[in-house]
């Protein structure tokens, strides 16, 4: 009798395993076209990699499918595609947005439709902190931490006079606000602040004015495309100040756009660089293996981690939006390739770590490993 | 204000104005000869810059190192290619729609511009990223106080001026120019007098587009960066400059181009948030249009182009 039951049970198990796994859809949204598309494509590939690896894992309960949408880094388009994703009941959760202005515009949509999302690149604090939406999470840090570290670091290098150029989106304005506050606290001065539009081509008028003000550092709060233009036009006008950017310019496209002129540019980004983390090495190897035509860029690892967090939650509680949101909110000390992830009660990952970068020989180097830190090379210093 | 710094602002404005004027002249040529507005013009500027960049890539791979040879060759290829493209656009899109409502031409060229832009973004290797454009002109700078004049800026300024003067001479001093002016004045009579109407239209579009290519290469050499979206903005500004100067008038376009650059520069100096400079410049254009609806130098139908 007992033996018969055992045979039956094993038969049952066998049929279960042979059954096709249920397919679960996850959305990825980022800027796949336009000036910052390099970051968007890197994020997409990274999320795709997470899904592929999970599908190759026989132990996974579900088969995952990534629905990729392009927000073009434009809030109006972002709201359209966010609505599209949120309205699709088959999509259980989303890995969403690199651009802060877009993420700001879409949080209400996700809340209204109850779609749990994890932001993978946008750094404006308000995305998680200006609302109590239980659907919204973020794996990367905010610009508050970023600018805090940046200001202390720069003052530590004995710089005292800044001119600020920022784009007039939420992203640039936020950076300007937090950095200016921090610098004022630390006793530095800001000799001029210039809000510019995010697609401006010519900065000669602004830079001529800045040249007159003689700052030691030009702080730039904005994204890669205009960062490239400003740095290049600074050189043409013979401005010798240090160029200090934010996480928005930490991309290979910045260096490709400037060539040797990128040398000595400073920037700050939350999280440790992927190659410095144990899981990061695995990530980069697997990424190579898939043969994507674009690199993962600065935030790829975050998109990868976000996709994995979502899939882990789905594995645990099943493909149900509300349960997944609740499960994500409980995330505590979850090991990921960007370090341990813990969400606070706003869904914000409390990443303690901010990495300082400097461009050396056409590469973003971690400051501590660079020849600038060792004193072999020197940043420009105004007379 | 320190005179040296003021001088720097003027120089910045002149450089901008030169690029705008070259684009605006194209708009005015097309409107003068056929009364059409060709909205893909800005994207032809962009395509010209990318053609030059591709040529440079090819030449460098072929082992050419002399900067002078590279600049001249890349410019020549870009100008020739865009002139052909301009003529082709005239042949395939503008001429067949000649008797359709002008709104159709406007729409179809708007779409063409979009197609050009997206084609470069999708098919040029890594085309969605800003591309560095090599610094090929000598970078020697002459500076005094806050003012610095670089050799490359001076060369570009002179080259741009000569190009505009050349177009002026072609139109006013050659038989071809005579034919263009005849077609502009009265296409039917010009035809009766034995002017090859279609050829003249194609050549005019070729000239305008060649100038656009030159503007594109100039812009690329000046900013050392090009991107697939650069033509959109240049197109809008070039068009506004042509309209405010007086659509159909060559001098009007030049005046409009420099005026727009001056407005932007003044806006950037005046406002605490320089992002408002475009609002200021376009606002001023609206006021000017209200004051002189036909533009500053109104086109007299007897001497248009």
Q: Which residues of A touch B273 (CB under 8 A)?
A: 168, 194-195
Q: What is the pLDDT of residue A1?
A: 54
> Which of A201, A207, A223, A256 should we substitute to test contact with B (largest number of B Cβ atoms within 10 Å)?
A201
- Say if B7 is an interface residue toward chain A (CB within 8 Å): no
Q: How far apart, in whole angstroms, are the C-alpha atoms of residue A230 and residue A226?
A: 6
The yes-or-no verdict on residue A20 having pLDDT over 90 is: no
Q: Which residues of B touch A236 (CB under 8 A)?
A: 150, 153
Q: What is the pLDDT of residue A382?
A: 56
Half-sphere exposure of A8 (CA within 13 A, CB side): 5
Q: Quick one: average pLDDT of B254-282?
A: 90
Residues B144-201: tens digit of each pLDDT? 777 888 888 899 999 999 999 999 999 999 999 999 999 988 888 999 999 999 999 9
pLDDT category of residue B305 using cuts at 50, 70 and 90:
low
Residues A338-370: tens digit of each pLDDT? 888 999 999 999 876 789 999 999 999 999 999
Residue of B nearest to A194 (CA): B273
The minimal CB distance from A206 to the residues B223, B227, B274 is found for B274
Question: How high does pLDDT run on average in chain A?
Answer: 90
Half-sphere exposure of A272 (CA within 13 A, CB side): 15
- Say if B124 is an interface residue toward chain A (CB within 8 Å): no
Residue of A nearest to B262 (CA): A205
> Which of B233, B274, B280 should we substitute to test contact with A (largest number of A Cβ atoms within 10 Å)?
B274
- Say if B281 is an interface residue toward chain A (CB within 8 Å): no
Q: What is the pLDDT of residue A9?
A: 60
Q: Quick one: average pLDDT of A150-165?
A: 94
Q: Which residues of B touch A206 (CB under 8 A)?
A: 268, 274
A237/B8 CB distance under 8 A:
yes
Query: Closest Cα of chain A to B258: distance in Å?
Result: 15
A37/B143 CB distance under 8 A:
no
Sequence-distant (6+) residues with CB within 8 A of B234 are: B19, B20, B23, B42, B45, B46, B215, B219
Here the ipTM equals 0.82
Query: Closest Cα of chain A to B58: distance in Å?
Result: 18
Q: How far apart, in whole angstroms, are the C-alpha atoms of residue B15 and residue A383?
A: 30
Residue of A nearest to B271 (CA): A194
A interface with B, Cβ–Cβ below 8 Å: 33-35, 37-38, 168, 193-197, 199-202, 204-206, 208-209, 211-212, 224-225, 228-229, 232-233, 236-238, 253, 256-259
Token pair for A348: 């914000």
Residue of A nearest to B129 (CA): A35
Q: What is the pLDDT of residue A18?
A: 46
- Say if B140 is an interface residue toward chain A (CB within 8 Å): no
Query: Closest Cα of chain B to A33: distance in Å?
Result: 6
Query: Closest Cα of chain B to A263: distance in Å?
Result: 15
The yes-or-no verdict on residue B89 having pLDDT over 50 is: yes
The yes-or-no verdict on residue A330 having pLDDT over 50 is: yes
The burial class, CB within 10 Å (0-12 / 13-18 / 19+), for A161 is: middle
A202/B275 CB distance under 8 A:
no
Q: What is the DSSP string of A7-39?
A: HHHHHHHHHHHHSPPEEEEEEEEE--SSTTHHH
Q: Which residues of B touch A33 (CB under 8 A)?
A: 121, 128
Judge whether B13 and B262 are in contact, CB under 8 Å: yes
Q: How far apart, in whole angstroms, are the C-alpha atoms of residue A161 and residue A139?
A: 33
Sequence-distant (6+) residues with CB within 8 A of B17 are: B257, B258, B259, B260, B261, B262
Token pair for A273: 């660089």
Question: How high does pLDDT run on average in chain B?
Answer: 90
> Which of A202, A221, A228, A237 should we substitute to test contact with B (largest number of B Cβ atoms within 10 Å)?
A202
The yes-or-no verdict on residue A227 having pLDDT over 90 is: yes
Q: What is the pLDDT of residue A297?
A: 85
């Amino acid at each position: 009798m007992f033996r018969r039951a055992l045979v039956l049970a094993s038969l049952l198990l066998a049929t279960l395993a042979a059954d096709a796994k249920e397919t679960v859809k996850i959305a990825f949204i980022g800027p796949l076209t336009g000036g910052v598309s390099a970051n968007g494509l890197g994020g997409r590939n990274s999320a795709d990699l997470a899904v592929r690896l999970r599908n190759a894992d026989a132990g996974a309960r579900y088969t995952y499918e990534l629905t990729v949408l392009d927000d073009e880094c434009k809030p109006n388009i972002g709201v359209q595609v966010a609505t599209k994703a949120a309205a699709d009941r088959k999509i259980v959760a989303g890995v969403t947005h690199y651009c802060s202005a877009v993420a700001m515009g879409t949080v209400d949509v996700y809340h209204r439709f109850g779609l749990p999302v994890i932001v993978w690149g946008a750094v404006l604090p308000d995305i998680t902190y200006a609302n109590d939406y239980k659907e919204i999470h973020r794996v990367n840090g905010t610009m508050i931490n970023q600018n805090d570290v940046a200001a202390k670091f720069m003052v530590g290098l004995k710089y005292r006079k800044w001119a600020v150029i920022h784009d007039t989106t939420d992203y640039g304005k936020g950076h300007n606000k937090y950095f200016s506050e921090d610098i004022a606290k630390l006793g530095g001065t800001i000799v001029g602040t210039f809000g510019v539009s995010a697609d401006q081509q010519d900065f000669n008028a602004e830079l001529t004015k800045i040249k007159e003000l003689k700052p030691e550092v030009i702080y730039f709060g904005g994204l890669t495309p205009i960062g490239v233009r400003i740095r290049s036009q600074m050189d043409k006008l013979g401005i010798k100040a240090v160029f200090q950017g934010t996480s928005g310019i930490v991309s290979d496209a910045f260096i490709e756009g400037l060539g040797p002129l990128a040398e000595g540019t400073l920037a700050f980004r939350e999280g440790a660089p992927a190659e410095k983390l144990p899981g990061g090495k695995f990530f980069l190897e697997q990424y190579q293996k898939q043969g994507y035509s674009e690199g993962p860029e600065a935030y790829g690892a975050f998109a990868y981690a976000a996709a994995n967090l979502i899939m882990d939650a789905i594995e645990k509680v099943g493909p149900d939006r509300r349960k997944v949101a609740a499960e994500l909110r409980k995330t505590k000390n979850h090991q990921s390739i960007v370090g341990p992830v813990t969400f606070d009660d706003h869904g914000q990952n409390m990443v303690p770590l901010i990495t300082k970068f400097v461009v050396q020989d056409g590469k973003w180097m971690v400051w501590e490993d660079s020849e600038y830190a060792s004193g072999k090379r020197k940043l420009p210093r105004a007379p | 204000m320190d005179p040296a710094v003021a001088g720097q602002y003027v120089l910045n404005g002149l450089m901008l104005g030169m690029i705008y004027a070259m684009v605006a002249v194209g708009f005015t040529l097309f409107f003068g000869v056929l009364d059409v507005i060709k909205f893909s013009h800005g994207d032809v500027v962009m395509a010209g810059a990318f053609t030059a960049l591709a040529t440079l890539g090819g030449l460098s791979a072929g082992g050419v190192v002399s900067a002078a040879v590279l600049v001249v060759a890349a410019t020549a290829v870009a100008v020739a290619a865009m002139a052909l493209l301009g003529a082709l656009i005239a042949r395939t899109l503008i001429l067949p729609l000649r008797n359709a409502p002008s709104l159709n031409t406007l729409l179809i060229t708007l779409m063409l511009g979009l197609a050009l832009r997206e084609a470069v973004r999708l098919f040029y290797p890594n085309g969605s990223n800003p591309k560095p454009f090599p610094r090929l002109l000598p970078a020697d700078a002459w500076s005094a106080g806050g003012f610095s004049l670089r050799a490359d800026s001076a060369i570009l300024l002179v080259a741009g001026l000569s190009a505009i003067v050349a177009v002026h001479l072609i139109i006013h001093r050659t038989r071809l120019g005579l034919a263009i002016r005849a077609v502009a004045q009265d296409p039917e009579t010009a035809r009766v007098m034995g002017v090859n109407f279609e050829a003249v239209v194609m050549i005019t579009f070729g000239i305008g587009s060649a100038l656009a290519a030159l503007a594109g290469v100039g812009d690329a050499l000046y900013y050392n960066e090009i991107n697939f979206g650069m033509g959109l903005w240049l197109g809008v500004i070039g068009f506004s400059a042509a309209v405010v100067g007086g659509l159909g008038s060559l001098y009007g376009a030049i005046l409009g181009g420099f005026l727009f650059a001056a407005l932007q520069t003044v806006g950037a100096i005046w406002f605490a948030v320089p992002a408002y400079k475009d609002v200021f410049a376009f606002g001023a254009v609206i006021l000017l249009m209200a004051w002189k609806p036909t533009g500053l130098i109104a086109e007299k139908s007897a001497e248009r182009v």
